[in-house]
Amino acid sequence: MNIGIKHCLIGIIFLTGCFRGIFSDRPKYLATEYVVNKPRIVALRSSPVEMVSGTPSTLDALLIAPKDATIEGWQVSACGLDLSSTTRTWIWDLLCFEKDDAITPLFSTPSLPYQFAVPTFPEIDSCNQWNDNMDTGLAISDTGWIEEGYYESECAHQLPIMVKAIVDGEPVFAAGFTNWYPNLPYHLRRDTTYSDAGIELNIPSQAKAGTEVSLALSIATNATYASFQWYIDAGVLLDTGITKAHQFQEATESFPHPLTTSNNRLVIPEEYEGTLRIWVVVHEPWYHDFDMTWAQGEIEVTP
Amino acid sequence: MLILLLTQTLLAAPVTVTVVDSTTGKKLSNAIIDCTKSSKNSTSPVTTTEEGKATIDCQTGSNQVTVFHDEYGKKQVPVTIENSTGLSMRIRLESPSFMIVEDEQQTGAITRHVVSSEELKRVPGTFGDPVRALQSLPGVARPNIAEGAIVVRGAEGINTGFYVDGMPVPYMFHTLVGRSIIIPSFIDDIEFFPGGMPSNYGEVTQAVVNVRTNTQPTEGTKAQLRLDFLDGGLALEQKINDEWTLRMAGRYSWVGGLISTASTIATRRAGGEGYEAAYLAPQYWDQFADLRYKVSSTDEISVLYLASRDTLYFSEGRYDSDGDGEPDPLAWEDADLSYNPEHWIDNQFWRTRLLWSHNDGRHSHQTWIAGGVEHQQNLLGAWWLSRQGPYRGRVGGPSVVVRRADRWTMPQWGAGSALVAGGQFTSRWFVAEDFQETFNVEDYDDIVEITTEDQQLVGSVWLEPQWQTEDWYVGLGIRGAVYSWDDQSTFEPEPRLSVRRQLPSDVLLKGAIGRYTQLPPLERYAQGIGNPSLDIMKAWQGSVGAETNLTGGLHIDSSIFGGWMQDLVVRDLEVDTYNNDDTVTTELQPYYLGVQGLAFGWEGLFRVRPSDTPWWGWISVTLSKSLRLDDAGRLFPSDYDMPISLTAVGAYDLGKSWELSARLQTTSGQPYTPFYGVYVPRDQYFTATRGDLNSERYPAFLRLDLRAQKVWSRKWVDWMLYMDIYNATARSNPFIATYNYDYSELIEIASLPIIPTIGLEVTY
């Protein structure tokens, strides 16, 4: 039974507004919530971008918070990783983390980035046959990509990772979903990630309060499909907190990498004085959750 | 002077006045009646006879008839006499009988709250329902919304047993509106044990509410019509003759009809058809009938019938998509469902009892057999709507209870001593159905229902000698109960001790300790919706206190209490995982777990009783803590843990039958389990993860209720018009809350607003 509540009247005589907001507005878009007024983890990245059994991985996160906040530590865990199971497991939501016995702690640390060893888990023997026999079109001898130790099979678990920071005694969370390979797949060796690319945030080093300044984020890769998420200490972003690529330049002889640029405009509040921080996160939605990069800058604001 | 005397004689008119108790209808003798036309013209007062009657000479024109009775106080009624023929009239005096009392036959009850019946009915914010007024007493937790749950001394809602004239009933309050299922005019008094129940009460671990309708005799005829915006009810009591007495009552809610009508009108005005209207409406009714036959001076037989139904009805609206002029059938109407999916909540039961009462002064007993059918259905699955009953399912079936309770006076042990003994056998054939799968299906052909059947048998016996001397009371109860359920059985001993000591300075010291056991409800251990590993709930309770009367009518009752509970059933949420090939799906599902509970605290009641002063009231204070400990070592507050609770009730008689009253209630905020936002970059949005169970609290609760009433007394009929304003300051006390987009702020979704009620009560 799928009840569609259309124009449901919960009106009882003399009871007006008793259930106000029960069909409340949809959540605000992040495009408008870019001022850093509370701690938030806004970006995650790992190297490699996916987990491989028994290999080292470096995990980093961008936590933005008001200037006086203190980050006391980090805890990172995975869920649904059965170290003895050979059955592929896909978990699409985070409710798994409410089952204590399904959680695998990965590490605790006072600061990030942090390198840790991915837990060792066995080969997966129940992959779909279609995946196992997928023709990649790449012959081993032709490309040389497949070297000894690397495997064609892309069979992997998909499990979530929860990142928790303690900021001024309060927990702050972020999570992502990533593939967990029993063996290193060749594409991890081949593909480049956003964090591999050079990134530069072009902002003025100084500005006066009440003025409009131009911001530009350039990344040395093809990021035409990426989202650029902007965060600031104060002010108004005239192009909102989420922008797309505004310019793209193919690799040239003088600059042998593609270059993608996204712009924004910041109006500094009249009453602001001091250091105004700016962060930009580059991420391609619905791609690798842990393939993100970011840049940070500061503007000294004078009256 | 002769002319004046003749004139006065010619203008005199006889008025026959019958004086009765407003609650019981009992005719009151020795009431003094006076008739005054002006301050200079008053007649000699007369006194009512055993029949409650007296005839007094008044003068034609407007007069004031004044009645005064030692026990009932004074009442003045205006009357206009048109000619010398005179008239007859009936005057009702408000009963001073205490509504919440210890059982007169169980004087050993340690914890007793004594509040006048009329006080209870006039407590604001209770819509004239004296049972709801229990929520204003110490030790009773404030319910979530307008519901009438009675949660006592840190226990759970299911640990309060409800009875009507000693017969157990599955619930006492109508869902959502919170009115009790017994029409108020039939309630003679309420036995309320917040703990320390005597041994004749079992199958409950914390508290007992026994609504009694049969402690006051019925005299003559009494009829009452009660109307307000929620419902209308009619009650009739008739003493047919010296042997037969009949009482009947019925109440029906029309708030659902008003909602459906308003929705239909709004839909038509918007250009649609009436059948397209969608609405959600509560509907309820209750019925009561009691026929008594006095076999002899010592024996009476009675048949009692009680029924109630509550429905939260959702009409999703119909459409004529094929254009044939007829609304299309709903998807579920062609399916062979065992339930009505439009009844999001459907609770109903009926009970019939045959009772034989005997009392020859030395030995009394009550022997009865009761049977009936009940079921509770909840498709909404709303955790906040009902902490009792099934979660997205239905449970119910027939039950039979047989009971014999005896009491022998034992003067040789001391005046007032007695020996109490008895036995009770209960059998329930219940079925629990899990509708959680059906609630989410798209195709009704795919319906899967999980059904659990069980026969619950409970047999208990008790023996309690009660020694009563001038200053001491000691009751030593021995009770044993055998429970059989879910292919297992157990014997549970339930010893009980209660002691009272009357000190010379009008101070009563009291203490009690005892063990109590209770079977978990079927829906809590049924397959699918329950936890099959649940065990019998057990509790040790103890309390020590004192009460005294001070000058000025001030009464103080103070106690400290403690309780340790085992296998207490609480509802939590757990993650269920479903494997579909290699995909694991997780879903948050409710489940019941057995936990240990610890509750302790202090409760105090400070009262000024109705007397010669025009005002009365009380202040009830509770300082307490209620904790739970599960097998995983999690220690958390209970759902009703409210460390501070304060209720003040006061009323003032303005004269001329006007009365104003107010109730102020403030408590600690209710615990809740917080959510923390989890940012998911892939989706660029926030989801949530739960924090520690009940680790946060809503803001402190504060509510002010007001009431005003005016009574018009006429010849045979009393008219009472009242306005009851619930939450008069319109304070927002959220009972449903959600979070903003990143779970950083709690946003109230729903709270009860100011609710003014106007009601009319006509009593004949």
Residue written as token pair 């971008």: A49
| Strand, coil or helix: B579 | strand
Q: Output the pLDDT for position A17.
A: 30
Looking at chain B, the number of H-run helices and the number of E-run strands are: 5, 43
A15 interaction partners in chain B (CB closer than 8 Å): 752-753, 755
The pLDDT tens digits for B114-130 are 555 566 767 787 777 77
Give me the torsion for CA of B324, B327, B328, B333, rounded to 10°. Answer: -140
Smallest CA-to-CA distance from B627 within B601, B599, B603, B602 is with B599
A279 interaction partners in chain B (CB closer than 8 Å): none
Answer yes or no: do B689 and A20 touch at CB < 8 A. Answer: no
The pLDDT tens digits for A261-290 are 999 999 999 999 999 999 999 998 777 789
| B632, closest residue in chain A (CA to CA) | A100
> Which among B583, B686, B756 has CB closest to A90?
B583
Supply B523's token pair. 């829906």
> Which among B444, B577, B582 has CB closest to A126?
B582
Task: Give the model's confidence band at B384: pLDDT under 50 very low, under 70 low, under 90 confident, else very high.
Answer: very low
A2 interaction partners in chain B (CB closer than 8 Å): 440-442
Partner B, chain A 137-196, Cβ-Cβ below 8 Å:
162, 171-177
Q: B260 CA to chain A: closest CA distance, Å?
A: 9
Percentage of chain A surpassing pLDDT 90?
Answer: 58
Higher pLDDT, B687 or A119: A119
Mean pLDDT of A201-212: 96
A98 interaction partners in chain B (CB closer than 8 Å): 573-575, 588, 689-690
Q: Does A5 touch chain B (CB under 8 A)?
A: yes
B690 interaction partners in chain A (CB closer than 8 Å): 98
The alpha carbon of residue B334 and the mean position of all alpha carbons in its chain are separated, in whole angstroms, by 40
Q: A246 and A259 in contact (C-beta within 8 Å)?
A: no
The pLDDT tens digits for A223-241 are 999 999 999 999 999 999 9
Higher pLDDT, A262 or B36: A262
| B745, closest residue in chain A (CA to CA) | A38
Mean pLDDT of B143-161: 77
Supply A134's token pair. 């997928």
Per-residue pLDDT at A200 exceeds 90: yes
The pLDDT tens digits for B667-698 are 998 888 898 999 987 777 888 888 888 999 98
Answer yes or no: do B755 and A14 touch at CB < 8 A. Answer: yes
Query: A174 pairs with which residues across the strands?
Result: A163, B679
Higher pLDDT, A182 or B572: A182
Q: A254 CA to chain B: closest CA distance, Å?
A: 34
Q: A97 CA to chain B: closest CA distance, Å?
A: 8
| B280, closest residue in chain A (CA to CA) | A10
Q: B361 CA to chain A: closest CA distance, Å?
A: 53
Q: B373 and B349 in contact (C-beta within 8 Å)?
A: yes
Q: Output the pLDDT for position B106.
A: 38
For β-strands B701-713 and B718-726, DSSP reports them as antiparallel
The alpha carbon of residue A145 and the mean position of all alpha carbons in its chain are separated, in whole angstroms, by 28
Per-residue pLDDT at A175 exceeds 80: yes
Answer yes or no: do B679 and A9 touch at CB < 8 A. Answer: no
Window from B218-227, B264-273, B603-612 with minimum mean pLDDT: B603-612
Task: Give the model's confidence band at B381: pLDDT under 50 very low, under 70 low, under 90 confident, else very high.
Answer: low
The pLDDT tens digits for B49-90 are 988 889 998 888 888 888 888 667 677 777 878 788 878 888
Q: Output the pLDDT for position B447.
A: 62
Answer yes or no: do A12 and B255 touch at CB < 8 A. Answer: yes
d(CA B316, CA B321): 15
Q: Output the pLDDT for position B529.
A: 66
Q: Does B683 touch chain A (CB under 8 A)?
A: yes
Per-residue pLDDT at B211 exceeds 70: yes
Q: Output the pLDDT for position B389.
A: 58
d(CA B420, CA B408): 7
Task: Give the model's confidence band at B655: pLDDT under 50 very low, under 70 low, under 90 confident, else very high.
Answer: confident
A131 interaction partners in chain B (CB closer than 8 Å): none
Mean pLDDT of A48-53: 92
Supply B171's token pair. 């619930």
The alpha carbon of residue B200 and the mean position of all alpha carbons in its chain are separated, in whole angstroms, by 21
> Which among A14, A17, A44 has CB closest to B681?
A44
Higher pLDDT, A205 or B29: A205
Per-residue pLDDT at B646 exceeds 70: yes
Window from B450-454, B578-582, B745-749 with minimum mean pLDDT: B578-582
- What one-character-per-residue DSSP string does B548-574 give? EE-GGGEEEEEEEEEEEEEEEEEEEEE
Window from A262-266, B428-432, B656-660, B690-694 with minimum mean pLDDT: B656-660
Q: Which residues, including other chains, have CB under 8 Å from residue A178's CB and lie 6 or more apart?
A: A46, A49, A50, A51, A158, A159, A160, A161, A288, A289, A290
**Residue B418 burial by CB count (10 A; 0-12/13-18/19+): exposed, middle or buried?**
buried
B382 interaction partners in chain A (CB closer than 8 Å): none
| B279, closest residue in chain A (CA to CA) | A9
Task: Give the model's confidence band at B101: pLDDT under 50 very low, under 70 low, under 90 confident, else very high.
Answer: very low
Answer yes or no: do B255 and A28 touch at CB < 8 A. Answer: no
User: Which strand (E) or helix (H) includes residue B120?
Assistant: helix B117-121
Q: Which residues, including other chains, have CB under 8 Å from residue B671's CB and lie 6 or more apart?
A: B636, B637, B638, B639, B641, B694, B695, B696, B697
Answer yes or no: do B682 and A285 touch at CB < 8 A. Answer: yes
Q: Does A230 touch chain B (CB under 8 A)?
A: no
Smallest CA-to-CA distance from B507 within B539, B545, B548 is with B548
Q: Does A2 touch chain B (CB under 8 A)?
A: yes
Per-residue pLDDT at B369 exceeds 60: yes
| B443, closest residue in chain A (CA to CA) | A1
Angle subtended at Cα B284 by Cα B278 and Cα B290, rounded to the nearest 5 degrees: 165
- What one-character-per-residue DSSP string does B420-459 give? EEEEEEEEEEEEEEE-HHHHT-S-GGG---EEEEEEEEEE
User: Which strand (E) or helix (H) includes residue B87?
Assistant: strand B87-93
Q: Does B438 touch chain A (CB under 8 A)?
A: yes
Q: A44 CA to chain B: closest CA distance, Å?
A: 8
Per-residue pLDDT at A135 exceeds 70: no
> Which among A2, A33, A80 has CB closest to B584?
A80
d(CA A42, CA B684): 9
Residue written as token pair 């000479």: B57
> Which among B278, B585, B757 has CB closest to A6?
B278
Supply B310's token pair. 């509550």
Strand order in the sheet with B160-164: B167-169, B160-164, B207-212, B189-193
Q: Output the pLDDT for position A120.
A: 94
B741 interaction partners in chain A (CB closer than 8 Å): 27-28, 33
Partner A, chain B 315-344, Cβ-Cβ below 8 Å:
316-317, 331-332, 341
Mean pLDDT of B710-725: 83
**Region of B240 on the Ramachandran plot (φ > 0 left; ψ -120 to 50 alpha; else beta):** alpha
| Strand, coil or helix: B263 | helix
Q: Which residues, including other chains, have CB under 8 Å from residue B629's CB and lie 6 or more apart?
A: B595, B596, B597, B598, B635
Q: Output the pLDDT for position B714.
A: 73
A14 interaction partners in chain B (CB closer than 8 Å): 229, 755-757
d(CA A250, CA B186): 89
The pLDDT tens digits for B448-504 are 667 888 899 999 999 999 998 888 899 999 999 999 998 899 999 999 999 999 888
Q: Output the pLDDT for position A12.
A: 29
Higher pLDDT, A4 or B462: B462
Percentage of chain B surpassing pLDDT 90?
Answer: 31
Mean pLDDT score across all residues of chain B: 83
Per-residue pLDDT at B303 exceeds 50: yes
Mean pLDDT of B539-557: 88
What is the DSSP secondary structure assignment for residue B199, as one 8-state letter?
A: T
Q: Output the pLDDT for position B349.
A: 94
Answer yes or no: do B750 and A15 touch at CB < 8 A. Answer: no
| A22, closest residue in chain B (CA to CA) | B749
CA distances from A188 to A140, A290, A291, B92, B651 (A): 16, 13, 12, 92, 79
CA distances from B675 to A169, B78, B172, B668, B741 (A): 16, 63, 34, 20, 12
Q: Output the pLDDT for position B25.
A: 65
CA distances from A25 to B147, B293, B744, B747 (A): 28, 63, 16, 12
Mean pLDDT score across all residues of chain A: 81
Residue written as token pair 């605000």: A28
Q: Model's pTM, two decimal places?
A: 0.79
Mean pLDDT of B531-544: 91
The alpha carbon of residue B635 and the mean position of all alpha carbons in its chain are separated, in whole angstroms, by 31
- What one-character-per-residue DSSP string does B598-660 give? EEEEEEEEEEE-SSSSSEEEEEEEEEEEEEEE-TT--EEE-TT--SEEEEEEEEEEEETTEEE
A7 interaction partners in chain B (CB closer than 8 Å): 267, 278, 317
| B674, closest residue in chain A (CA to CA) | A171
Partner A, chain B 6-45, Cβ-Cβ below 8 Å:
none
Q: Does A16 touch chain B (CB under 8 A)?
A: yes
Q: A264 CA to chain B: closest CA distance, Å?
A: 19
Mean pLDDT of A12-37: 50
Answer yes or no: do B314 and A38 touch at CB < 8 A. Answer: no
- What one-character-per-residue DSSP string does B17-49 give? EEEEETTT--B--S-EEEEEEETTEEPPPEE--
Q: Output the pLDDT for position B706.
A: 93
Window from A182-196, A259-273, B349-363, B692-706 with minimum mean pLDDT: A182-196
> Which among A1, A9, A174 has CB closest to B332?
A1
ipTM computed for the complex: 0.82
Q: B721 CA to chain A: closest CA distance, Å?
A: 18
Answer yes or no: do A173 and B676 touch at CB < 8 A. Answer: yes
Answer yes or no: do A95 and B575 touch at CB < 8 A. Answer: yes
Q: Output the pLDDT for position B684.
A: 76
Higher pLDDT, A27 or B645: B645
Q: Output the pLDDT for position B584.
A: 62
> A with B: how many residue pairs have Cβ under 8 Å apart?
175
> Which among A16, A98, A173 has CB closest to B575?
A98
Q: Which residues, including other chains, have CB under 8 Å from residue A60's CB and lie 6 or more apart?
A: A44, A45, A46, A112, A113, A114
Supply A225's token pair. 């499909």
Q: Output the pLDDT for position A277.
A: 97
